Structure 1
């Protein structure tokens, strides 16, 4: 796969990942943590704010991999 196409696909996938992840994380918090304390909200959003980095890191590693010949 050409490098430019790989980076284009990766960029679109990254945007979708961030948007979908944010929507689901916020929806889950709204449904299940509505009556929780502020500390629970803080811990949840800190954890989910860092957790999206794992799939993003894998996606970036795929985008930057050398093409096979």
Structure 2
């Protein structure tokens, strides 16, 4: 957690990735809680799961082969 907080001090966007069910979401919710308690405005915090992202190909029902 301290490593992530050190990176956040650089005012950068971070991406936390890893295998399923390894605690990434739990870690992010704990981090968000710490940020809010340290007086970071909640509107400055963005949390997005890759599961929630939609492929542009899905919208158009167009699939392109990957080579």
TM-score (norm 2): 0.36
TM-score (norm 1): 0.35
- Name which structure has the greater RCO, CA cutoff 8 Å, separation 6+: 1
